[in-house]
Amino acid sequence: MIARLLSYRPLGTKIYSLEHSDQEGTLCIQGVVVHQKKEEIDLTTQFTVATIKELKTVSPPVKKARLTLTTEEVLLKQSPQTGTDTEIIAATYPNLDLDAFYYQILQTGTQSYIAICRKAYVEELIRAYRVQGIYIEDVSLGVTNIGVLAPYCGDTQLYTQTAVVGIRNKEVEFVAEKEASVVETYEIESLRVPSTHTLPLATAIRAITATATITGNLEDRNKNLTRVYQEVATFKKIAQYGIGVLLVSLLINFFVFNSNYKQWQSLQETLQVYTNQQESIKQQQTVVANKEAIVKSILATGFSKSSYFMDQLIYRIPSTVLLNTCMYQPLRKTIHPGKPIHIDQGEIRVSGTAIDKQDFTNWVAAIEGLDFVRKTTIISYGVQQKNSADFELIINLTDDATH
C-alpha cells in the first residue's frame, strides 16, 4: 500500500491503466487495475494481451482506461533545456509542427524529457479502442509518467517494457532504450509489480497523486476525453434510472389493473370471434367480387367479340349447311361451387349438318381466310344419310382477336 499519498484526486475506486507498446515488432498491451481506498492504493490485477480485442477477456472487462503509448511512433528526447514548454520545444524540436504533433514534457531540476507523437496516430488508436467498447479517458506519451515512481524507488535503474530509466535523488536521471529482454520484479511501497508493468502502474498513480508535473499540448485533449467519458457515464446512469422507474411503473400498473384481467380476457375472446367473422365475410366478399369480375369481363369483352365472330361465320355459311350449336370459348368442365372456372380461351366450337360436301369444304376455307382465325380443325365429319353428314369444327382465334 502507498500510505504516504495524502494529496490524491478521487476519480473513482477503480482505475484501468494500459501501455500500448511494440515488442520485437509485435503489438503488446500491458495493463493493471488499481483500487483506490481512502489514502491507500491496492494493485489488484495485472495482465498482458496481444490485441485490443482481447481486453474483453480480462476480468473484470476493460470499459474505460488511461492509455500510455510507447510504440515506435513515439519519439523521446532528453534535453538540458528547462523553462517553458515553448522554450523546451524550440530547443529540442525546432521545426516541430504543433498542429500535427502532440507532445508531453517531464521536467526535473536540471533537464527535460520530451515525448512527441503524430496526432493522427493518437486519434486512430483512440478510435480503435472505442470500436471495442473501451473509452480512453487519458493519453500519455513515452515513459514520462515514470517520474511518478522516482520518489519511492531510491537511487536505482528501473526497467519498463521498452526502456531503462535511471533514478537519482528522487528524480529521473536518464532514459535509455532497453536492449535486452530483462524482466525484474519491484516492490514499491508494498506494491509488488514486474518491470513490464511499471509504466502502467505509474500512469495509474499519476491519476491519483499530485506528484510529477507533466505538461504539453496533449493535456487539452485529455480534458476533452475525460469530459466525453463523464457525459457518457452520466447518460448511462440516467438511462438506468429511467429503466428502473419504468419497471416500477409497470409493476404498479400490473397490481392496479390485475383485477380487470378476466374482464379484459373475455373482451379479447369476443373481439377474436368478431374478427374471425369479419375475416370470413371478407373472404366471401372476395370470392363474390372475383366471380363478378369474371362475369363482367366475359360480358364486357366476350359478348361484343363473340357477336362479331358469329356474324362473320353465319354471313359466309352456305344454304346447304345447317348449324346445331355455335359456342364461343366453351366450358371445359361443369361449374362446381368453390372451384375455378376453366374455358377453352380463343376457340369457337361449331357443330351441324352439311348436305353438300363441296359447299361445306368451301365454307371451311372461307372461315380460314378470316383475319381473326388462326386455324380451323375438323373434329368430325360423318355421313348419316345419303345426302347429309354431321360435322364438328374447332376454330382457333388469333392472339389479337382474344385480347
Domain with CATH 3.30.420 in the chain: 14-216
Cα 397 to Cα 341: distance, rounded to the nearest angstrom: 20
CATH C-level class of 316-402: alpha beta
Residue type, 360: F
Total length of the chain = 403
236 is written with which cell numbers?
Answer: 448511462
Q: What pLDDT is attached to residue 262?
A: 74
- Containing 247, the helix (H) or strand (E) segment is helix 218-257
Q: Do the Cβ atoms of 65 and 136 come closer than 8 Å?
A: yes
Q: Is 394 exposed, middle or buried (0-12, 13-18, 19+ CB in 10 A)?
A: middle
Of 55, 61, 10, 65, residue with least CA distance to 29: 55
Average pLDDT per run of 10 along the chain, which is 403 residues long?
43 82 88 85 91 90 93 95 94 94 94 96 96 94 93 90 93 88 87 94 87 85 88 73 75 71 75 80 78 62 72 88 87 75 84 89 90 90 79 87 69
Residue corresponding to grid cell 345447317? 322
Domain 14-216 fold is Nucleotidyltransferase; domain 5 (3.30.420)
Q: Count CB neighbours of 134 within 10 A.
A: 22
φ, ψ of residue 374 in degrees (nearest 5): -90, -45
**Which residue intervals of the chain bear CATH 3.30.70?**
316-402
Are 18 and 137 a contacting pair, CB within 8 Å? no
- Give the pLDDT confidence score for residue 49 in this predicted structure: 95
Residue 294, pLDDT score: 63
Distance CA 83, CA 180 (A): 34
DSSP 154-205: -SEEEE-SSEEEEEETTEEEEEEE--S----EEEETTEEEEGGGHHHHHHHH
What's the grid cell of residue 52?
A: 485490443
Q: Residue 266 CB: number of other CB atoms within 10 A?
A: 10
SS3 6: coil
* Distance separating alpha carbons of residues 69 and 73, to the nearest angstrom: 8
Report the C-alpha gap between 219 and 207 in whole angstroms.
13
